[in-house]
Structure 1
């Protein structure tokens, strides 16, 4: 299982989400065909662009609640004071990807930042 975690500012476009996912995948030499889903924090449930991106990619969008984000927060690779203050997570994209990919998931690298969107790729267990 491979999950692209998404963090974003309010009101981003589908095009911005898709561009960030593509940039993150390219940084690891991967394509969207490798993905099993997108993930974000439950508090981003109102961000229609994330769900539109999932629809365009034909992928489910997993909403991860606060406690699940906190459980994996120490396994993240980056820390944003802004993200921590706004969401309680040091990196929504990294923690959402880790939580959605499963118990033994790991990040392929730190999140990719593309304007107002961040994207991190996590894989389950020993994938890749």
Structure 2
């Protein structure tokens, strides 16, 4: 399972979300077809752009509950004081990707920042 975790400022566009996902995947030599899902924190569950991006890619959008987000936070690579203050995690995109990818998940690298959107790619622990 491969998950793209998304963090964003309020009011971003679906195009900005899709561009961040594509940029993050390209950084790891991957394409959109590698993804199993998008994920974000519960505080972003009403962010229309993230939900629209999931529909456009025909991928589920996993909403990560606060407890699971906090549990994955110790395994993030990036550290944002702003994210910590607002979301309770040092990286919404990284913690969301890790939590949604399941037990043993690993980040492929630090989050990618593209304007107002961050994206991190995690792969499930059961992958080769």
- Smaller-chain TM-score bracket: over 0.9
Q: Which runs of 5+ in 1 are unaligned?
A: none
Count of matched residue positions in the alignment of Structure 1 and Structure 2: 128
Deviation at 1:127, TM superposition (A): 2.6
Residue equivalent to 2:45: 45
CA distance in 1, matches of 2:92, 2:25: 17
Residue equivalent to 1:4: 4
CA distance in 1, matches of 2:91, 2:6: 9
Q: CA RMSD in A?
A: 0.8
- SS of the residue aligned with 2:110? coil
Deviations 1:69-99 (A, max 9, x none): 1111110001100000111111000000000
Residue equivalent to 1:60: 60
Equivalent residues in 2 for 1:1-128 (5 A)? 1-127=1-127
CA distance in 1, matches of 2:16, 2:64: 21
Taking structure 1 as the reference length, the TM-score comes to 0.98
Deviations 1:22-60 (A, max 9, x none): 000000000000000000001101100001000010100
CA distance in 1, matches of 2:39, 2:84: 18
Taking structure 2 as the reference length, the TM-score comes to 0.98
- SS of the residue aligned with 1:52? helix
Q: Which runs of 5+ in 2 are unaligned?
A: none
